[in-house]
């Protein structure tokens, strides 16, 4: 391992250890509540006998990240269920079962234990049995994006359904699940961060909240009293552009114009190469008819710079290049530098094979979650974590063209001038994000 590898590995171990220590301390001490904000109190009490809105059919909480929605809603949901029903089935869903267990269930179990509820987690059935005194209820865990959950939910009768991060689930799952709530007095519970105003959840649920008899609450980070000003400032610094508006300001807004509007040649383009010790990685967006784009990236443990690029457009030259020729061009780009691996467009199976056949470099399929990748890249640009050597002309050109598709109801980029942009996103999302994880 190089020095950088060792350093990063040590930092990573430190963080994993700290996170594990935090969770085990929480387990020992029970959940340490901070005072609830007024909004959180509304979420916690709207169904109580004294509440003027107790007869409504459900509740929606949307708004900024880390604003205390999930914590207050998950707890309130189970308290409502336990106070209103006995021997009934309830549903709880996250984007996936795994993300629900990580983000919601761990803390929910602690909170319930601190309120003297007995919780049995039947992991293999994704079933939580919650009891207190003579009351017992059954909470089934679903993942909106898990296919098996979509099958399982079809046969069940529910007295309530809680959707955490509902905007990340398919509409069909939410319709299925709400359709199963046939027990008298059943209620729907939703929370999410904003997305496009044309998103199905905004149009079909939030905009129709009154008609559907749903309580609607909007959260900002100030509604979470457990966050210090310093932590809030850190979150604010993590997002930019449309993601800032949605995740920090909590506004449902369209992604429009240039995707990387924060790219600024004065700030991000350099006429010098990085100095000192570096880790080298290449990232590739593969194309035969479409352009082929590869970038050589240097990372010094804090920042990364794309030092040079290889861009080939067969439409411009009229000559197609085969995989072997592209591979040789990448070898030229690398020269005698020691490259950790080449990250490749996951759909380019033939090119991954071509790299493996030579046995000189390790090929790695890129993680291709477009929106998450773009969000991470915007943050890196905004914080000056990535920069470009002025030789990367095709990349700099694409930054001025790569745009959101305004015709689409969802966040979609126009599939044009996107080759260097895709290869940079692969680098940021598959490699750099992991190397820098400890900073977030
Ligand atoms: N009343 C509270 N007491 C202690 N911690 C809280 C409280 N409210 C929120 N938190 C903590 O703040 C963080 C963000 O809350 P969360 O409910 O996950 O926000 P959101 O769902 O809006 O993103 C979590 O770590 C959560 O445990
Ligand atoms: Mg949440």
pLDDT 10s digits, 171-196:
999 999 999 999 999 999 999 999 99
Taking only the tens place, the pLDDT of each residue in 64-95 is 999 999 999 999 999 999 999 999 999 999 99
How many residues appear in the chain?
A: 440
| pLDDT classification of 19: cutoffs 50, 70, 90 | low
Q: Which residue has the higher pLDDT, 238 or 160?
A: 160
What's the mean pLDDT in 106-111?
95
Residue 49 Cα distances to 8, 37, 40, 56, 131, angstroms: 54, 21, 17, 12, 21
Q: Which of 22, 68, 193, 249 to mutate to test the pocket of ligand 1 (most atoms within 8 A of CB)?
A: 68
What's the mean pLDDT in 300-326?
96
Which tokens go with 156? 């069940």
| pLDDT classification of 440: cutoffs 50, 70, 90 | very low
CA contacts within 13 A on the Cβ side of 318: 0
Query: Is pLDDT at 35 greater than 70 in this prediction?
Result: yes
The domain 258-439 having CATH identifier 3.40.1210.10: the answer here is no
Architecture of domain 34-237: 3-Layer(aba) Sandwich (3.40)
Domain boundaries for CATH 3.30.420.280 within the chain: 258-439
Taking only the tens place, the pLDDT of each residue in 119-171 is 999 999 999 999 999 999 999 999 999 888 888 899 899 999 999 999 999 99
What's the mean pLDDT in 11-18?
60
Atom of ligand 1 nearest to the CA of 61: 22
Task: List 387's β-bridge partners, or say none.
Answer: 305
Mean pLDDT rounded to a whole number for the chain: 93
What's the mean pLDDT in 426-430?
97
Taking only the tens place, the pLDDT of each residue in 332-386 is 999 999 999 999 999 999 999 999 999 999 999 999 999 999 999 999 999 999 9
Task: List 128's β-bridge partners, or say none.
Answer: 121, 139
In the block, residue with structure tokens 């207050």? 72
pTM of this prediction? 0.80
Cα–Cα distance, 322 to 415 (Å, whole number) = 23
Domain boundaries for CATH 3.40.50.300 within the chain: 34-237
Ligand nearest to the CA of 222: 1
CB atoms within 10 A of CB 75: 21
Ligand 1, residues at Cβ distance < 6 Å: 33-34, 36, 65-71, 107, 219, 224, 226
Query: Is pLDDT at 58 greater than 70 in this prediction?
Result: yes
| Main-chain dihedrals φ then ψ at residue 254, nearest 5 degrees | -80, 145
Q: Which residues surround ligand 2, an ion (CB under 5 A)?
A: 70
The pLDDT value recorded for residue 27 is 67
| Main-chain dihedrals φ then ψ at residue 302, nearest 5 degrees | -130, -45
């Amino acid at each position: 391992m190089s020095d950088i590898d060792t350093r990063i590995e040590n930092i990573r171990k430190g963080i994993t250890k700290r996170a594990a220590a935090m969770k085990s301390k929480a387990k020992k001490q029970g959940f340490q509540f901070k005072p609830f904000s007024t909004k959180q109190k509304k979420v916690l009490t709207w169904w109580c006998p004294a509440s003027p809105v107790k007869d409504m059919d459900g509740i929606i909480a949307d708004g900024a990240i880390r604003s205390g929605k999930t914590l207050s809603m998950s707890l309130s949901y189970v308290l409502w269920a336990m106070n209103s029903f006995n021997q009934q089935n309830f549903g709880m869903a996250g984007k996936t079962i795994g993300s629900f267990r990580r983000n919601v269930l761990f803390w929910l179990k602690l909170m319930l234990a601190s309120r003297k509820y007995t919780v049995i987690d039947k992991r293999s059935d994704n079933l939580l049995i919650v009891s207190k005194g003579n009351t017992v209820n059954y909470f089934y865990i679903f993942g909106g994006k898990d296919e098996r959950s979509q099958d399982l939910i079809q046969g069940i009768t529910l007295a309530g359904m809680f959707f955490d991060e509902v905007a990340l689930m398919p509409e069909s799952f939410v319709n299925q699940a709400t359709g199963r709530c046939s027990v008298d007095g059943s209620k729907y519970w939703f929370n999410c961060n904003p997305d496009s105003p044309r998103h199905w959840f905004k149009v079909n649920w939030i905009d129709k909240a009154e008609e559907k008899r749903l309580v609607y609450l909007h959260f900002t980070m100030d509604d979470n009293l457990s966050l210090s000003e310093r932590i809030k400032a850190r979150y604010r610094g993590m997002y930019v552009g449309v993601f800032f508006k949605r995740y920090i300001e909590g506004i449902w807004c369209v992604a429009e114009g240039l995707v990387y509007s924060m790219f600024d040649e004065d700030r991000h383009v350099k006429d010098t190469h990085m100095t000192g010790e570096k880790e080298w990685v290449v990232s590739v967006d593969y194309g035969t008819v479409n352009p082929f784009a590869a970038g050589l990236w240097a990372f010094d443990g804090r920042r990364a710079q794309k030092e040079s690029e290889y861009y080939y457009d067969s439409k411009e030259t009229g000559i197609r290049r085969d995989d072997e020729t592209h591979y040789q061009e990448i070898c030229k780009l690398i020269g005698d530098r020691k490259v950790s691996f080449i990250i490749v467009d996951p759909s380019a199976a033939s090119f991954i094979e071509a790299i493996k056949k030579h046995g000189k470099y390790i090929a790695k399929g890129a993680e291709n979650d477009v929106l998450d990748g773009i969000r991470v890249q915007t943050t890196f640009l905004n914080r000056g974590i990535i920069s470009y050597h002025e030789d990367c002309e095709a990349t700099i050109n694409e930054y001025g063209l790569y745009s959101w598709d305004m015709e689409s109801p969802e966040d979609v980029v126009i599939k044009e001038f996107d080759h260097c942009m895709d290869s940079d996103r692969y680098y940021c999302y598959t490699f750099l994000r992991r190397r820098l994880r400890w900073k977030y």
